[in-house]
Structure formats: structure tokens, C-alpha cells
Amino acid sequence: MVVQKLSLAEEWLVYDGDGDEPAPRRFTARRNRSLLRTKSLARLSPPRSLDGTGDAPGCRYDVEGSYAGRSLDMFACTSWASGGNQRRRVATVCRKEAAVGLDVFRLIVEPDFEPALAMAMVILLDQMNAS
């Protein structure tokens, strides 16, 4: 997956592939910038529909926890249109017990979730917190 930041807004675009050839956009990611205290760090939403009027159908993902502490949970959220707002944990990031440094962590992905998307989210959070 390729992650690309838009310079004018706190928005990142997530594409399939390695960037060698054009690919359709999979997600738009936004950092949570709320004045209220919240556990939410970021949200991945399906890309806008071709006419630009709304989001394409699909699952939304929320990331909660502490990036500095490498303690994160990624949740898949169904939309109201599909029968309710339900969340389920699909991936978890936690520190390794015997690790030296912050670059060593465990990424635990549920069997029905795409590991490449979970790792793309970790890379995306690293870019969000680097700026």
C-alpha cells in the first residue's frame, strides 16, 4: 500500500500497490483534531464517490489508544446505512516485552482482516506523528 499526504489539509490518501503504477484510492485518512479528550487518533474512510457527493460504500476504521506508548487498537465500523453502528477490533499494536526502543512492537491482526492494511495504518500513524 502507498500512503500519500495532501499538503493543505491533515489528510492522507491510501492506495493499493507500491506506487509504480496508478491504482484506485482505497481510503482517506484523517487525524483526529478534537478539543475534547478522546481516545481516537485517526479515522480511515472509504474514498468519495466518483461524483463527489458522498462516501463510497464500505467499512470505516477508527484507531484508538496511545501512539507514543505503542498501545493501539484498530476497529472496523459499519455504517448506519448497513443496519447500525457496530464496532469490532480488527488489529492491535502493543510493545514487545523485551524490546529496546520504540521501533519494536507486536502487530496482532484478526484472521479475517488484511495485514497489509493494518501495517499501512501503523506507517500512517508514524507519518502523522512525525510532523
Digit-by-digit pLDDT tens for the chain (131 residues) are 555 554 445 788 888 877 677 777 788 888 877 666 667 888 888 876 555 555 556 678 899 998 888 889 999 987 655 555 688 999 999 988 775 666 678 899 999 998 988 998 888 888 888 75
Q: Is the overall model pTM greater than 0.85, yes or no?
A: no
Three cell numbers written together for 122: 501503523
Number of domains in the chain: 1
User: Domain limits at 55?
Assistant: 2-130
Quote the CA–CA distance of 37 and 44 in Å, as a whole number.
20
